[in-house]
Amino acid sequence: MIENLMQSIRKWTGLSSEDIIDNEQPDTVFYTLADTIAFKKFVQTAMPKVFNLVPQTLNAFGQSLCKESPISQISTLENMISKLDFTIWAETIKTWVLILQNIQTENKQFLTDSLKPKFDALVENIDFADLKEALSQVSSDIDALSENINLLMWQYPAKLVLLFSIIPLAGNTACMIARNTFKHFNDVPPDILADILISLIKEIDMDLVSQLMDESAELARKLHTGAALIGEPGADALTQQVKSIVAKLSENINSTNVFKARQAIDHIKNGIWEAWFARLSGNYDILSQSISLWFDKTNQTIRQTSQLTAMLDDLPDNHFKQTIGSQCQELEMTEIAEILNQLVQLALRLEQLSPEALNAVLFQWIDALDTDAIGEISDKLASPLMQALAPIIQGIAPSLIHAFCDAMAGDEQFAIALRQLKKEFPL
């Protein structure tokens, strides 16, 4: 086949084999060939045939093989596969890896020195403006092509379903591979497994990770600062752009479908939780482990909070004032108060419009309380609790009572309530 190809090149170009192979400047020969009309015609004719040769050969062979029995097909494929030499690929990779290792030992900048000029030439000679323009122009064509492909596929729904059925098969295959990998990892003793994983973690260059985090943080800071600089006072450009995007999305999105989808997702989540709780019901081992896990997480949060608050004691006064003082002032206490106001207003409005609904909620809550248990626990805890709190009560009660009396002095409703209290509970 190679000889036939060489004969064709000599025939079309008029060049001898020595001119093509032995020339000290093959680039010159190549461009000489490329400039000839004969060579251009040869490439235009031969290259598509060479490109189509492999699939045509496989297709013709496959069609012939389809006519044979499954046993014959298995025998034929086994014979073909047995002749595939993957060892030579392994040896080739091994050889070139060794070459690269030797080169790196001698010259660690070899790849940079060798490939950088090539990439520089690639970048310098690509007109990215034209590339962008071409991609922009072809996008509509790709959109039309995608639509045509979808129209064609939807003419054969069964084929489409079978095509998409590959996705779960691929997922199952990935799960099987991961399962087998983890299975063999689990066959390793715990100490060796931990040593392997820790060794892998040690190989991670934390300096690079920290530098990446630092650069990412600086990027976010600059984005925030730049957006504030180019935006309007009190409204940075990024926030305005996000608002614009959300507004455009909300205009084109069917909000009813979005909320229905959210409800559907919530129902699915509830179903998962119900299934999990059903699994816990009666299975005291899993229930105990789940409760223990919850307590562990809660204890971790408590310990972290405790450590954080303990570190606040070590803060110098200026840092304490700068952090705690300023952050406390940043708390939206007005918003919290406004929420309480709104809740009270909503309760009053509900009482006016539907008092039975408000009463039903209150009564349901009260009825759900186990008053006997509350009374019993109060009887058991009241005395020791008061004894424990006695120093605190003695310290704050007088000032609270004085402040309360001062605040309520002159209030007619309070006076009426106080007289009623004295009447019901005479001293």
Domain count, the chain: 1
Residue 320 lies in a domain: no
Spatial neighbors of 107 by CB under 8 A, at least 6 apart, are 113
The closest alpha carbon to 174, from 185, 184, 182, belongs to 182
Label residue 405 by pLDDT band (50, 70, 90).
confident
Residue 407 lies in a domain: yes
- How far separated are the first and last CA of the chain, in Å rounded? 121
**pLDDT at 27 exceeding the cut of 80:** no
d(CA 406, CA 40) in angstroms, rounded, equals: 105
Q: In this predicted model, what pLDDT tens digit does every residue of 181-209 receive, in sequence order?
A: 999 989 999 999 999 999 999 999 999 99
Higher pLDDT, 410 or 69: 69
Higher pLDDT, 324 or 152: 152
Q: 415: domain range? A: 378-427
- Across the range 231-258, mean pLDDT stands at 86
Residue 386 lies in a domain: yes
pLDDT confidence of residue 209: 93
Residue 413 lies in a domain: yes
pLDDT confidence of residue 15: 54
Residue 325 lies in a domain: no
Give the count of alpha carbons within 13 A of 147, CB side only. Answer: 6
Phi, psi of 235 (to 5 degrees): -150, 105
**pLDDT at 31 exceeding the cut of 80:** no
pLDDT confidence of residue 24: 46
Residue 411 lies in a domain: yes
Question: If you search the block for the tokens 């816990």, which residue do you land on?
Answer: 280
Label residue 26 by pLDDT band (50, 70, 90).
very low
Residue 128 lies in a domain: no
**pLDDT at 180 exceeding the cut of 90:** yes
Which percentage of the chain shows pLDDT scores above 70?
91
pLDDT confidence of residue 8: 59
- Across the range 212-216, mean pLDDT stands at 95
d(CA 390, CA 420) in angstroms, rounded, equals: 29
Among 97-106, 377-386, 405-414, top mean pLDDT goes to 97-106
Residue type, 51: F
pLDDT confidence of residue 45: 79
Residue 405 lies in a domain: yes
Helix 110-125 vs helix 86-106: crossing angle, to nearest 10: 100
pLDDT confidence of residue 214: 95
Give the count of alpha carbons within 13 A of 194, CB side only. Answer: 3
**pLDDT at 30 exceeding the cut of 80:** no
**β-strand partners of 232:** 235
Average pLDDT, the chain: 85
